[in-house]
């Protein structure tokens, strides 16, 4: 298949490109590089041994995107493009609603106009808000207790895509609800490159390990969890990427959500210990106040994706830490200076 990949220069998009080419597909990437560097695509091209067409554009720019549809024939689109920083979304709600929703509307309008009927969308565990039950399943309650505009955009876009599928019975929307993506490609050449202070735990911990940051701030140790710290379902980004290939192989008309998760929860202290082992370093940390909006624990059953998509997460959290550490130590400044 030839796949339109929006946001393909980003963290998850770049790893998915590698798996797309490994599975025999081809891709055209569009990205405005607002949170990424074209260097990631150059490195993906080295890994896959092919040139990947790239157009720098804003997905919400219908005219620019229409030209891409006019030039290429697509079998499906994977829609990664979006802003994703939870805290920033609280400070800049309009920017988040505008970017994430407008880009989706423009993409889906052009897909329908061009008879491209298969869409894989990057949704998030955030749609479950404050989990009503654990492990979460696709039947679990969604939309209650979402604490930030970023999460609301994911919830709203899922609903928009369901409505599009009702009105267009030929259209297929697969809503992949990612849990916590971590790790990097085992080559150490592509990985997560957060600008500024990392928002997410694992890049923060590896930056402490390499000496760029002094100590990990553990956001609370008084939750009702194994050791009092927050528990999450960390999934290796290569497993996550492969979930998209599985989804492309099982596109059915209508909207269907899948949890891309491992089923296992890991605490903050357990994750720090795993990086200590991977990096053979002692990682200093201090416990600070809880972060507003955080839930105690969030992990999910991947059973539906296991049975319907024939997909499962194979890589361990230890492997993810080894791969993250390899990426961090080989690229201490990420894609900078390239």
Residues that bind ligand NAD (CB under 6 A): 7, 9-13, 31-36, 58-60, 80-84, 99, 103, 122, 124, 178, 181
Active-site annotation holder among 21, 128, 150, 178: 150
Q: Could you give the CA distance from residue 83 to residue 7 in angstroms, rounded to a whole number?
A: 10
Among 25, 62, 162, 217, binds ligand UFG (CB under 6 A): 217
| Per-residue DSSP letter, 176 | E
Give whole-number Cα distances, 132 to 85, 135, 201, 308, in Å. Answer: 24, 9, 24, 24
Counting residues that bind ligand UFG (by CB under 6 A) gives 20
Q: Could you give the CA distance from residue 132 to residue 144 in angstroms, rounded to a whole number?
A: 9
User: Is 150 in the active site?
Assistant: yes
181 binds, among ligand UFG, ligand NAD, none (CB under 5 to 8 A by kind): ligand NAD
Q: Could you give the CA distance from residue 134 to residue 141 in angstroms, rounded to a whole number?
A: 11
3 binds, among ligand UFG, ligand NAD, none (CB under 5 to 8 A by kind): none
Do residues 257 and 138 lie in contact, with contact meaning Cβ atoms separated by under 8 Å? yes
The pairing of beta strand 231-232 with beta strand 266-267: antiparallel
Binding of ligand UFG by 165 (CB under 6 A): no
335 binds, among ligand UFG, ligand NAD, none (CB under 5 to 8 A by kind): none
Q: Which is nearer to ligand UFG, 171 or 327 (CB)?
A: 327
Binding of ligand UFG by 126 (CB under 6 A): yes
Binding of ligand UFG by 326 (CB under 6 A): no
Binding of ligand UFG by 180 (CB under 6 A): yes
Residues 272-301 within binding reach of ligand UFG (CB under 6 A) = 291, 294
Q: How far is the CB of 60 from ligand NAD (least distance, A)?
A: 5
Q: Could you give the CA distance from residue 220 to residue 229 in angstroms, rounded to a whole number?
A: 6
Do residues 174 and 119 lie in contact, with contact meaning Cβ atoms separated by under 8 Å? yes
- Which element (helix H / strand E) includes 87? helix 86-91
Q: Known catalytic residues?
A: 150
């Amino acid at each position: 298949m030839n796949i339109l990949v929006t946001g393909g220069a980003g963290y998850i998009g770049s790893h998915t490109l590698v798996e797309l080419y490994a599975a025999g597909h081809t891709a055209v990437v569009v990205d405005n590089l607002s949170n990424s560097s074209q260097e990631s695509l150059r490195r993906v091209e080295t890994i896959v041994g092919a040139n990947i067409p790239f157009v720098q554009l804003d997905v919400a720019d219908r005219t620019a995107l229409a030209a891409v549809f006019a030039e290429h024939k697509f079998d499906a689109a994977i829609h990664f493009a979006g802003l994703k920083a939870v805290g920033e979304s609280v400070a800049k709600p309009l920017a988040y609603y505008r970017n994430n929703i407008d880009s989706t509307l423009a993409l889906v309008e052009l897909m329908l106009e061009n008879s491209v009927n298969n869409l894989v969308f990057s949704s998030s565990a955030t749609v479950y808000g404050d989990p009503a039950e654990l492990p979460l399943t696709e039947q679990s309650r969604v939309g209650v207790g979402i604490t930030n505009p970023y999460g609301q955009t994911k919830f709203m876009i899922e609903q928009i895509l369901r409505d599009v599928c009702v009105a267009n019975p030929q259209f297929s929307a697969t809503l992949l609800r990612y849990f916590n993506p971590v790790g990097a490609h085992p080559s150490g050449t592509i990985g997560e490159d957060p600008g500024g202070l990392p928002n997410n735990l694992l890049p923060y911990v590896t930056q402490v390990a390499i000496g760029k940051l002094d100590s990990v701030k553990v956001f609370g140790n008084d939750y009702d969890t194994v050791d009092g710290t927050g528990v999450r379902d960390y999934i290796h980004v290569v497993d996550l990427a492969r979930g998209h290939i599985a989804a492309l192989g099982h596109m059915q008309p209508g909207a269907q959500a899948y949890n891309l998760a491992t089923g296992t929860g890991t605490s903050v202290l357990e994750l720090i210990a795993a990086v200590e082992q991977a990096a053979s370093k002692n990682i200093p940390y201090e416990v600070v106040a809880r972060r507003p909006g955080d839930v105690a624990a969030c992990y999910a059953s991947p059973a539906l994706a296991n049975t319907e998509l024939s997909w499962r997460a194979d890589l361990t959290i230890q492997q993810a830490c080894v791969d993250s550490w390899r990426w961090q130590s080989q690229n201490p400044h990420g894609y900078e200076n390239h």
